[in-house]
Amino acid sequence: MMKKDLLRRARSSIDGKRRVRSAYLRRAVSDAYYALFHALAFACANSLAGVTKRDSSAWRRIYRSLEHSRAKEEFGRAETRALHENIARIGVAFKQLQEARHAADYDPATTLRRRSDAEALIGIAETAISDLDALPADLALDLAASLLFRKRP
């Protein structure tokens, strides 16, 4: 599963090295964010198309429908955060990881300097993914609908 592979790569890129180069720290942060992003896409597709439909074009289309900016916007809405405490925590983690990824990927003057900085962000991703995996099916469906579809008046 992609989320596990990305978390594993994030950890392995900074583990076992005496001094971790900036590029490896940056890659680890980016991988941590994308692990959470793909976990959300996976949860959306499973909730809306069904676990048994993973080989279908509909499942893949739903998976690919999650948008970075739309997810950040939705997690910022009080109504979404109020769905469940896990969803509120996932939203905080998503925003924090997305901002850290942008800094890691695009800011040449990023403050990311230590292994412990990257390890903390990887831990945030792992916790958010655990919170997502622990959601009851009905709340996972509510979250998927919130992330993928705009609410109409």
pLDDT digits (tens, 9 = 90+) for 55-112: 999 999 999 999 999 999 999 999 999 999 999 999 999 999 999 999 999 988 887 8
For the chain, the structural domain boundaries read 2-148
Residue 104: which of 29, 13, 33, 32 has the closest Cα?
29
Q: What is the mean pLDDT of residues 114-134?
A: 96
Tokens of 121: 């962000």
Model confidence at 153, pLDDT cuts 50, 70, 90, reads confident
pLDDT at 111: 78
Q: What is the mean pLDDT of residues 116-127?
A: 96
Residue 54: which of 41, 64, 45 has the closest Cα?
45
Kindly state the DSSP code that residue 136 receives in the 8-state scheme.
Answer: -
Look up residue 59 and give its amino acid: W
pLDDT digits (tens, 9 = 90+) for 12-55: 999 876 788 889 999 999 999 999 999 999 999 999 999 999 99
More confident site: 132 or 21:
132
Is 54:137 a contact under the CB 8 Å cutoff?
no
pLDDT at 109: 81
pLDDT digits (tens, 9 = 90+) for 143-152: 999 999 998 8
Dist CA 29 CA 105 (whole Å): 9
pLDDT at 151: 84
